[in-house]
Structure 1
Amino acid sequence: MKAKNFNLVGFALALSALTACGGGEGSGATTAASAPSAQPAPVVTPVSTASTLVTAVSPSTYAVGSEEAAAFDKLNAERNACGFGLLAQNANLDVAAKGHANWNVLNGYFGHFQIAGTPGFTGVTPQERFAKAGYTVGQGSTVGDESTSVIYSGNKVGFGKVGMVRLLNAPYHLAGLMSGFREVGFSVLSSDDIAGSALRQVTLQANLAYKDVDQPQLIDGSSVATYPCEGSTGINRQLADETPNPVPGRDLSRLPLGSSVYIAVRDGNKLTITNASLTNLATGVPVTVRPVLNSDSDPNKVNGQSYFAGHQAFITADAPMAANTRYQVVINGTNNGAAFNRTFIFTTGTGG
């Protein structure tokens, strides 16, 4: 079944000891965001099982050396390396992203929903903002909204890449960033860019979408993709906060999680993980991992509906990983009932 309304797959990620929140109506700098209003990922019924991944896109038009270029290049490099397909820059999505980043910074908010009548208002929902920016929405596209902010700093230098790396180790964000979208727009703005900002803040805003006429990117029906994957480097070693919280009730600022591994099969297939392990190759010591996170076990379901689809799953280390260290991942499971095994090595960085 085609998804006819927008799929809000991302929520704001707090960075280290700094404050960021989001998901529901935008919240002020000193308050938590309201409970997120989410829609589950649309289930795609494939006609063919052949891959429809995009393997080439035009170079972006972001300014050389800009934070937007860094975020775009980082996301596409990771998607391409791990078999999720490339995203094309879309100027309308850039406009929508810049408008919402501007609104967040101007008002000192961190959410995905704007408030009518406030300075810089461009639309309450992502769907409204995409439409205002000229991107086809409603019955013609599926859209996603991802953002991350850091406060008490107006310095955005390096935040395009750093912010993206942090989003890529947050399960509820990672699922969206590695999903079947075809187009993306970015904006990275700080309070130094915007006169009259409510507080010192930097925001990375990513808007993703695909038009229904094009259909989403789909991996081959027999394939199993992961992120990180073989050879991935610089993976954040810990997760200090995310909304929704992957472990409700756990204060991630005091008890962070470690790195997460995303596993996906073709959208429309059923993924089952039967066993998964992480091992520190420097010491040979197994890493304690949490129970598999998927559409069945998702603790943040809204009215019984998961943020994840049946083709997605995560394994997550229960504590921060060692920095600059190689880890081996072993995953066993089934893809639509067919058994598979994946073994690969990734390397952590120092971030998180």
Structure 2
Amino acid sequence: MKPKNEWLTVLVAGVTLTACGGAWGDGGDTLTPAASTIVTRVPAATYAANSSEALVYETLNAERLQCGFGLLAQNARLDQAAIAHLNYLAQNNAVGHFQEPGKAKFTGVYLDDRVAASGYDRKQVGETVSTVPPTENAEYAVRFILSAPYHALVALHGLRDIGLALGPSTVGTQTLEMVFGLAKDSVHQDAGKVLTYPCEGSAGVFAARGAEVPTPFPAEADAIWGQPILVKGASDLRVAAASITGPGGPVVIKALYGDGQATDPNAWCTAGAACVIPAALRANTTYTATVSGTNAGAGFTSTFRFRTGAK
């Protein structure tokens, strides 16, 4: 199945391009808890010190590690694919996941093609493309992705490698291109337990945002939401209840998408992933979240505090 919209975050498995929705594995999630395969040490990245790419890499890995999703290793071939696609977007004043044959800097129509052209021998790859104002820094660009439920599902997926590029593309904007990979002989990162993002101690998450394409609220024009709580578990994950409380009391939950709950209109939050999407939150405020349900045949409850940033 091809993505319906070229802004759609892409997760590719096998030899064909598929919009895999909220799927977290390539057959890796099971109904029983697995031994952890989370990566906690990777070789030092070679991005230039204090560069935007270094800040993107460090910010994303810090968020992933804190919440138990594991570290991503820089991969030169995925860097090559990311840089090539960013160059294509800049050359053609475009934004999106696809390229058109015959246009300048063309390296492949689909992500799968472009990763193959870079020489990465993959089992699975994924991509996020995010356009942000030129006045914002690299940390903002990462947090912008993590506050969009569908993009965040890819950025927090259990792949092991990453390549990235950040630079100007369309007039007056900058684009962060991130390519994620799992090499052919590797296994997914799997904690063997329920994980959430944000998690205990997360800070600086977005208080409010909108404008993800596709939108998690297609019936609502110009929808705005607060930092989503993404829940990862085994393939039988069921979130029965979720709440967020702040200084003013309970926060309205705009949507709880997942198996056994409301159906995600874009079919991303399913099959081992659930998305708790609140109304807009207050900036610079601490919230307490509680998520409960069943996972791998057993009950779970997760209670944690997180803090919004200035945005």
What is the TM-score of this pair, normalised by structure 1? 0.79
Kindly indicate whether residue 24 of structure 2 is the aligned counterpart of residue 52 of structure 1: no
CA 1:298/1:74 → structure 2, altered by over 3 Å: closer, same or farther?
A: farther
Match of 1:203 among 151, 167, 175: 175
TM-superposed deviation, 1:159:
3.0
Kindly indicate whether residue 191 of structure 2 is the aligned counterpart of residue 230 of structure 1: no
Query: 1:105 is matched with which residue?
Result: 90
Q: Secondary structure at the match of 1:208?
A: strand
Could you tell me how far apart the structure 1 residues matched to 2:211 and 2:151 are?
Answer: 12
Q: Which moved more, 1:158-167 or 1:82-91?
A: 158-167
Kindly indicate whether residue 72 of structure 2 is the aligned counterpart of residue 72 of structure 1: no
Contact 1:23 1:37 survives alignment (8 Å): no
Contact 1:71 1:160 survives alignment (8 Å): yes
Could you tell me how far apart the structure 1 residues matched to 2:151 and 2:74 are?
Answer: 19
Contact 1:247 1:299 survives alignment (8 Å): no
Between Structure 1 and Structure 2, the one with more strand by share is: 2
Match of 1:323 among 267, 283, 297: 283
Could you tell me how far apart the structure 2 residues matched to 1:172 and 1:250 are?
Answer: 17
Query: 1:300 is matched with which residue?
Result: 265
Write the letter of the residue equivalent to 2:130. Answer: T
Write the letter of the residue equivalent to 1:189. Answer: G
TM-superposed deviation, 1:315:
0.6
Could you tell me how far apart the structure 1 residues matched to 2:225 and 2:54 are?
Answer: 29
Could you tell me how far apart the structure 2 residues matched to 1:262 and 1:45 are?
Answer: 16
Match of 2:250 among 266, 281, 286: 286
Kindly indicate whether residue 310 of structure 2 is the aligned counterpart of residue 347 of structure 1: no
What is the TM-score of this pair, normalised by structure 2? 0.89
Could you tell me how far apart the structure 1 residues matched to 2:264 and 2:198 are?
Answer: 23
Query: 1:148 is matched with which residue?
Result: 130
Contact 1:182 1:216 survives alignment (8 Å): yes
Write the letter of the residue equivalent to 1:216. Answer: H
Kindly indicate whether residue 146 of structure 2 is the aligned counterpart of residue 181 of structure 1: no
CA 1:217/1:106 → structure 2, altered by over 3 Å: closer, same or farther?
A: same
Contact 2:160 2:180 survives alignment (8 Å): yes
Q: Secondary structure at the match of 1:164?
A: helix
Query: 1:258 is matched with which residue?
Result: 226
Write the letter of the residue equivalent to 1:265. Answer: G
Contact 1:105 1:202 survives alignment (8 Å): no
Contact 2:206 2:308 survives alignment (8 Å): yes
TM-superposed deviation, 1:108:
1.7
Q: Which moved more, 1:91-100 or 1:207-216?
A: 207-216
Q: Which runs of 5+ in 1 are unaligned?
A: 1-5, 12-20, 25-35, 192-197
Kindly indicate whether residue 27 of structure 2 is the aligned counterpart of residue 43 of structure 1: yes
TM-superposed deviation, 1:219:
1.0
CA 1:103/1:159 → structure 2, altered by over 3 Å: closer, same or farther?
A: farther
Kindly indicate whether residue 232 of structure 2 is the aligned counterpart of residue 247 of structure 1: no
TM-superposed deviation, 1:295:
5.1
TM-superposed deviation, 1:183:
0.2
Could you tell me how far apart the structure 2 residues matched to 1:170 and 1:211 are?
Answer: 26
CA 1:147/1:230 → structure 2, altered by over 3 Å: closer, same or farther?
A: same
The alignment of Structure 1 onto Structure 2 pairs a total of residues equal to 299
Residues 315-340 of structure 1 show CA distances to partners (whole Å, capped at 9, x for unaligned) of 1112x111000000011111023111
Kindly indicate whether residue 101 of structure 2 is the aligned counterpart of residue 136 of structure 1: no
Query: 2:275 is matched with which residue?
Result: 314
Residues 107-157 of structure 1 show CA distances to partners (whole Å, capped at 9, x for unaligned) of 1211101111111111100000001111114xxx1000111013xx6x4x6
CA 1:213/1:309 → structure 2, altered by over 3 Å: closer, same or farther?
A: farther
Query: 2:239 is matched with which residue?
Result: 273
TM-superposed deviation, 1:290:
2.3
Q: Which runs of 5+ in 2 are unaligned?
A: 10-16
CA 1:348/1:61 → structure 2, altered by over 3 Å: closer, same or farther?
A: same
Q: Secondary structure at the match of 2:224?
A: coil
CA 1:158/1:62 → structure 2, altered by over 3 Å: closer, same or farther?
A: farther
TM-superposed deviation, 1:312:
0.6
Q: CA RMSD in A?
A: 2.4
Q: Secondary structure at the match of 2:245?
A: strand
Could you tell me how far apart the structure 1 residues matched to 2:111 and 2:45 are?
Answer: 23
Could you tell me how far apart the structure 1 residues matched to 2:241 and 2:231 are?
Answer: 12
